[in-house]
Structure 1
Amino acid sequence: MSKPFATVAITKHGVELSRGLAEHFPGTDLYYMSKFARGDEQEKGYRMFEGSVKLILPDLFKAYSGLIIFISLGAVVRMIAPILEDKKKDPAVVVVDDRGEHVISVLSGHLGGANELTRQVAEAIGARPVITTASDVQQTIPVDLFGRSFGWEIESFDRATPVSASVVNEERVVVVQEAGETGWWTYDKPLPPHIRVCASAREAMNAEFDAALVVTDRLLDGDEEAALLANGVLYRPKTLVLGIGCNRGTPAEEIEETIVTALAELGLSWKSVRNVATIDLKKDEEGLLAVCAKYRWKLAVYTPDELNRVPLRNPSDTVYRYTGAYGVSEPAALLSAGASDWLLEKRKSGNVTISVARVSLPAPEGAAV
């Protein structure tokens, strides 16, 4: 299954609508009952099935990130009920009525992307999108999607449901933003008065609130965790760049240990690492590539000339003799982050040198990020 979405139909009108959608909606595999075959299915890559659609749904659930089903809502609910697992795993499910008038977001509206899929399908076929998620209806913060467009990662998800309830019930909510992109409020209206933005954990802890959304690349201390995450969700923005230099053949374990130790001493989360940066001579360094693969970090590489354009406080003639650059980890970190200074200028540990920089982003109002 090479495409992300599957469209399923079991009626004559549903097949007509689904064929039209498949022609104009990229990334869609089409399934319908073989009795409606027209003879061009093999040519177009459409898939036929016999018997009840209920028999193929479990396999479609596993194979696709979204299902667009041209069947009545009640029937779909009954058929998918036995195969539901978890909101973090279940695919998006969208239902379209037999006349193509309404597209309904049924399952995994936020995490699975059903709400957005509903809007896209409705636009494609000229239908009305039906979305009932409270945060969408009220045009407020969707807790389980907060910052996803920026690549933020949710570290603590346990309290997502009660925190979402606080947001939609207009209880007192603090958004603690110490790092990360600030353009998360996209509605054409002011931020509601029950949502307050704080530039630091300490500022929020001095306020009265019922729920917290905490956006930081910093490790929280015990008091902060107790105060903010008792009814809060912690988000890790991708704000850190690791500049790495190492000797040829350095084991992945040594590189990883150097990274973990440096971040722990700085009080920073590895989940906020956006990428690793180094000199192009190291683009095939096996240990470095293994660490990047383990943590799913991209590797940015720069030529010696590019690295030498970055002013260094402590240029190294020794490094220059071996690489043609007066430094590797320090300038690579700054270049990749677009930063002017380091959180950690340079630390050498055995065969590895590490520098850390924070990605240059517009600072949250009132915060020194």
Structure 2
Amino acid sequence: MTKPYAAVAITKHGVEMARNLAAGFPGTDLYYMSKFARGDETELGYRMFEGSVKLILPDLFKAYTGLIIIISLGAVVRMIAPILEDKKKDPAVIVIDDRGQHVISVLSGHLGGANELTLEVAKALGARPVITTASDVQGTIPVDLFGRGFGWEIESFDKATPVSASVVNEERIAVVQEAGETKWWTYDKPLPPHITVYGHAVEAMQAEFDASLVVTDRLLEPQEEAALLKNGVLYRPKTLVLGIGCNRGTSAEEIEQMIISTLSELRLSVKSVRNAATIVLKKDEEGLLEVCRKYKWKLELYTPDELNQVPLKNPSDTVFKYTGAYGVSEPAALRSSGAVDWLLEKRKSGNVTISIARVPFPPGGQVGL
């Protein structure tokens, strides 16, 4: 299916509501019982079914990211129970009562986006949204969504449930933020006193806490992992920019090996790479493009004049002779990241040159309102 949502109805009033919703809520396919057909379904792309709706739910689960079901909550719970798999795979499921008074987030409220979908559908229908997720009700950090809007990636998810419990039970929470966006507290109230922000792992390890949220692009040392992730979740913000230079025809394998080995040596996570950057002459360099496709990195391109606007410590006349720029990897990394200095100015091995810069964000004191 090309649309993300499916709306399902089995009653006269439900069908009327679903038709109105499908007409005004983009990205929604509509399914209802054939006995309520009006003759315009083929033209509108609505899908009819006969028999129990339970028969089509397994296919809808696989085909859509969100299901909007206009059936009683109890019936929906019984029907979806046998087909549930995992909170990281199951689609969002929301339920609407037959009079359209309440829109209820039922399944995958955070990771699947059911809470957000509930709010959007309720607004479209003029209904009351019902969300029972503890972090949303209390207005605190949703552990499984923390930093998601910034593109942060959760590396260690196994402790998400106990850490979430610690957060909503107002136990002592250490937020260790060494990198990444700092404006993650979006509520119109101060950060609660049981949540403390530390700028480095060492600071947190000297304090007492019950659970931790660790935001870093570093590879943690064994003692840091033991202390912070015993009851903690590790997040990888997208903070690293790779400036890349290479000879024409360099293989993807050589470029990738250079990137991985360099990051490993610097104790940096490949999951925190935001993008790669290079000179426009490399726009068709297949080896580099292949690596970017593999890791889903955007490749930013700069003209020689744009690269020459970045002051370099070691400009190269040789590079200028062949490219028109006094450097490629170093200025590309700084220009793309907005940083004033490199984590790694330049390293050359074989046919590849790499520079690494970290995207700057306001200091931790900016967290909050």
- TM class by shorter-chain length? over 0.9
Aligned match of 2:185? 185
Aligned match of 1:37? 37
Query: Hey, what's the Cα distance between the residues in 1 that align with 2:366 and 2:40?
Result: 62
Aligned match of 2:291? 291
- Which TM-score applies when normalising by structure 1? 0.98
Report if aligned partners of 1:198, 1:204 keep a CA contact under 8 Å in 2. Answer: yes
Aligned match of 1:211? 211
Moved more, 305-314 or 160-169: 305-314
Aligned match of 1:51? 51
Aligned match of 1:24? 24
- Give 1:37 shift: 1.1
Aligned match of 1:237? 237
Within-5 A mapping of 1:272-283: 272-283=272-283
Moved more, 96-105 or 49-58: 49-58
Query: Hey, what's the Cα distance between the residues in 1 that align with 2:168 and 2:325?
Result: 54
Query: Hey, what's the Cα distance between the residues in 2 that align with 1:45 and 1:336?
Result: 45
Report if aligned partners of 1:255, 1:288 keep a CA contact under 8 Å in 2. Answer: yes
Query: Hey, what's the Cα distance between the residues in 2 that align with 1:36 and 1:345?
Result: 68
Query: Hey, what's the Cα distance between the residues in 2 that align with 1:140 and 1:42?
Result: 46
Aligned match of 2:73? 73
Residue 196 of structure 1 aligns with an amino acid whose one-letter code is: T
Alpha-carbon distance change, 48 to 366 in structure 1, aligned in 2, over 3 angstroms: closer
Query: Hey, what's the Cα distance between the residues in 2 that align with 1:302 and 1:44?
Result: 47
Percent sequence identity over matched residues? 82
Query: Hey, what's the Cα distance between the residues in 2 that align with 1:78 and 1:250?
Result: 57
Report if aligned partners of 1:118, 1:130 keep a CA contact under 8 Å in 2. Answer: yes
Within-5 A mapping of 1:1-369: 1-365=1-365
Query: Hey, what's the Cα distance between the residues in 2 that align with 1:319 and 1:193?
Result: 54
Residue 34 of structure 1 aligns with an amino acid whose one-letter code is: S
Report if aligned partners of 1:6, 1:29 keep a CA contact under 8 Å in 2. Answer: yes
Report if aligned partners of 1:212, 1:232 keep a CA contact under 8 Å in 2. Answer: yes
Moved more, 194-203 or 38-47: 38-47
- Which TM-score applies when normalising by structure 2? 0.98
Residue 136 of structure 1: SS of its match in structure 2? helix
Residue 171 of structure 1 aligns with an amino acid whose one-letter code is: E
Residue 113 of structure 2 aligns with an amino acid whose one-letter code is: G
* Structure 1 segments (4+ residues) deviating >4 Å: none
- Give 1:366 shift: 9.2
Residue 137 of structure 1: SS of its match in structure 2? helix
Report if aligned partners of 1:179, 1:363 keep a CA contact under 8 Å in 2. Answer: no
Moved more, 13-22 or 37-46: 37-46
**CA deviation string 1:145-193 (max 9, x = no partner):** 0000000000000100000000001111100011111111111111111
Query: Hey, what's the Cα distance between the residues in 2 that align with 1:38 and 1:283?
Result: 54
- Give 1:365 shift: 2.4
- Give 1:285 shift: 1.0
Query: Hey, what's the Cα distance between the residues in 1 that align with 2:241 and 2:225?
Result: 25
Report if aligned partners of 1:342, 1:355 keep a CA contact under 8 Å in 2. Answer: yes
- Give 1:99 shift: 0.2
Report if aligned partners of 2:34, 2:50 keep a CA contact under 8 Å in 1. Answer: yes
- Give 1:64 shift: 0.6
Alpha-carbon distance change, 198 to 14 in structure 1, aligned in 2, over 3 angstroms: same
Residue 205 of structure 1 aligns with an amino acid whose one-letter code is: M
**CA deviation string 1:73-124 (max 9, x = no partner):** 0111111111100000000000000000000000000000000000000000
Query: Hey, what's the Cα distance between the residues in 1 that align with 2:12 and 2:174?
Result: 51
Q: Give ranges in structure 2 of 5+ residues lacking alignment.
A: none
Query: Hey, what's the Cα distance between the residues in 1 that align with 2:220 and 2:83?
Result: 38
Query: Hey, what's the Cα distance between the residues in 1 that align with 2:228 and 2:312?
Result: 39
Report if aligned partners of 2:70, 2:97 keep a CA contact under 8 Å in 1. Answer: yes
**CA deviation string 1:276-300 (max 9, x = no partner):** 0011111111111111111111111
- Give 1:206 shift: 0.6
**Matched residue pairs, number?**
367
Report if aligned partners of 1:345, 1:356 keep a CA contact under 8 Å in 2. Answer: yes
Residue 164 of structure 2: SS of its match in structure 1? helix
Query: Hey, what's the Cα distance between the residues in 2 that align with 1:119 and 1:350?
Result: 54
Query: Hey, what's the Cα distance between the residues in 2 that align with 1:284 and 1:36?
Result: 55
Residue 301 of structure 1: SS of its match in structure 2? strand
Query: Hey, what's the Cα distance between the residues in 2 that align with 1:326 and 1:9?
Result: 65
Query: Hey, what's the Cα distance between the residues in 2 that align with 1:355 and 1:170?
Result: 43
Query: Hey, what's the Cα distance between the residues in 2 that align with 1:139 and 1:176?
Result: 20
Report if aligned partners of 1:152, 1:237 keep a CA contact under 8 Å in 2. Answer: yes
Residue 184 of structure 1 aligns with an amino acid whose one-letter code is: W
Report if aligned partners of 1:84, 1:90 keep a CA contact under 8 Å in 2. Answer: yes
Q: Give ranges in structure 1 of 5+ residues lacking alignment.
A: none
Query: Hey, what's the Cα distance between the residues in 2 that align with 1:56 and 1:249?
Result: 51
